[in-house]
Amino acid sequence: MVIVKKKSSLLLKKAVSKPTSSPVKNASVKRTSLVKSGAVKQTKTSSLKSLPVSPVKITAVKSTPVLSTVGKVVHYYDQIGVAVVALKSSLKKGETVDIGKQDDFFKQKVTSMQMNRKPLLEAKKGQEIGLKVNERVRPGYVVVRK
């Protein structure tokens, strides 16, 4: 249904449509178009009546520790048990790190790091190092510290 009214050189058209099938009751959609000297402007508004809200019980949730990513495993040498790790932050010998993917992590202490067959005490961000690991890892695993 279209209603046309003339008001001081403005032509107002009001199009009223039936509410579409919506899972929310009492929803209405109103579309208004304004035509003035060839320019068309459309506005869309929707209004919803307030719905009843049931009380919610709030319970305490145990927070998970924040993990900082040290690096990512790029390659793994299975015969010698060494992972090549691309570092995103510095890493020192003696630190404890978690290595794994998603929920499958194992914890180990950094005992041996090498770069170009030379032992390192500390590796810096951006370097690729060889890290001796206790378990098998795969490319894509992350190295994190708590």
CATH number of the domain residue 119 falls in: 2.40.30.10
Residues 123 and 129 sit within 8 Å (Cβ to Cβ):
yes
Domain identity same for 75 and 141: yes
Structural domain count, the chain: 2
Domain identity same for 74 and 120: yes
Using the predicted structure, report yes or no on whether residue 88 has a pLDDT greater than 50.
yes
Please state the pTM of the whole predicted model.
0.56
Q: Please list, in sequence order, all residues whose beta carbon lies within 8 angstroms of the beta carbon of residue 90, skipping any fewer than 6 positions away.
A: 122, 123, 124, 125
Domain identity same for 74 and 141: yes
Domain identity same for 85 and 35: no
Overall average pLDDT of the 93-104 stretch: 94
Using the predicted structure, report yes or no on whether residue 10 has a pLDDT greater than 60.
no
